[in-house]
Amino acid sequence: MIYIKLYKGVCLALAFIVLNQLSFAETNLKSTRSKVSIKVMAYNVLYNSKKMIKSINLIKQQKPDIVCLTELTPRFVRKFNRDRYLRQNYQYQALYPKHGTWGVGIVSKYPIIKKALYPLRPHRMPGSSAIIQINRRKLMIACVHLFPPFGKHRKSDGLLLTVAKNTLLRINQTKTLWKKFKYWRGSLILMGDMNEGRNDRALVFLRNKNYVLACLQVKHTSCGPTFPGATSMLPAVVEIDHILGRGVRFISAKVIKGGGSDHYPVSAVFQIDLKETVKKD
């Protein structure tokens, strides 16, 4: 009986040592990783969509780590959080829903440690941002919806004057964003419905300020027009939803066909450097 107890004790001790070594090896492997890949998605979900569940299912299928949602309404938020998978996997949320087209928000699989809502000056249309903790690094995410080209400021404004005013307004909105994040030293993602083509003036301004457009940095992409989207009988003809980055390296980018919105979402995968933990002897 004594030998049996001694044998069991030795076996337990050996098992404990093996498990300890395996745990140490796993921890050591994670701590020495120098980079991590993150998938983000920008999606205008259409405030009055009758097919919101299709947009929600598309997010589930794509499984992005971080999502920027524009035209976000209380109804969409309710439907999103009723879904068990989404509720459990995107428990970190910075959501600012509104009735109409001004709602914005960010959902994340990684912890959000700070969030903000602010006007995109010189207009009151809001943008949102969140600082997300990934390992020891902090990632800034900005989710925006820039002013649409045909939104009238005065009833008396003609079409050409309206378009010209809104072009200037979007340039000033991007200048506001540039100033806001000018001194952020970490990695940054700016995404959303820009209402601008990749070579239009507001996006060119950002690109001249060291923002990289995901669909331009990656050589082989499936990018292209994002509007009109799945709810339209017409094919998509303009690319106005974008993902830009600063301090990141994009490794893939694409427009995703499907969903229940008048926009197709765009997604991108990028890498950020992690602080390497050096093993001491």
Report, as an integer, the average pLDDT of 17-44: 61
For residue 101, name the pLDDT band (cuts at 50, 70, 90): very high
Whether the per-residue pLDDT at 3 is higher than 60: the answer is no
CATH C-level class of 33-273 = alpha beta
What is the Cα–Cα distance from 212 to 197, expressed in whole angstroms?
Answer: 14
Q: Tens digit of pLDDT for each residue in 193-247?
A: 999 999 999 999 999 999 999 999 998 779 999 999 999 999 999 999 999 999 9
Position 35 scores a pLDDT of: 83
66-70 and 104-108 beta bridge pairing? antiparallel
In whole angstroms, what is the distance from residue 268 CA to residue 116 CA?
23
The CA-based angle 94-181-272, given to 5 degrees, is 75
pLDDT digits over 61-86, tens only? Answer: 999 999 999 999 999 999 999 999 99
pLDDT in tens, 175-205: 999 999 999 999 999 999 999 999 999 999 9
Q: What is the spatial distance between Cα 96 and Cα 86, in angstroms, rounded to a whole number?
A: 17
Q: Residue 281's pLDDT is what?
A: 32
The Cα 20–Cα 27 span in angstroms is 11
Band (pLDDT 50/70/90 cuts) for residue 15 is very low
CB atoms within 10 A of CB 113: 11
pLDDT reading at 16 higher than 50: no
Band (pLDDT 50/70/90 cuts) for residue 19 is very low
Please give the structure tokens belonging to residue 193: 């419905």
Whose tokens are 């600082």? That residue is 131
- Each domain of the chain, given as residue ranges in start order, spans 1-31, 33-273
- Of the listed ranges 71-75, 153-157, 273-277, the least confidently predicted one is 273-277
Residue 38 has pLDDT above 80, yes or no: yes
User: Would you say the C-alpha torsion 6, 10, 15, 20 has a positive or negative sign?
Assistant: positive
Mean pLDDT in residue range 101-124:
97
- For residues 204, 210, 213 and 214, what is the CA-based torsion angle, rounded to 10 degrees? 180
- Asked whether the predicted pLDDT for residue 148 surpasses 70, the reply is yes
Mean pLDDT across the chain: 88
pLDDT (mean) for 265-281: 70
Is residue 259 helix, strand or coil? coil
Instruction: Read off the pLDDT band of 272 (50, 70, 90).
Output: confident
Statement: residue 48 has pLDDT above 50: yes
The reported pLDDT for the residue numbered 33 is 62
For the chain, the distance separating the N- and C-terminal CA atoms, rounded to the nearest angstrom, is: 43
- pLDDT attached to residue 56: 98
Query: What pLDDT does residue 9 have?
Result: 52
How many CA atoms lie within 13 Å of 41's alpha carbon, on the beta-carbon side?
26
| Better-predicted residue by pLDDT, 27 or 46 | 46
Average pLDDT estimate for 15-19:
42
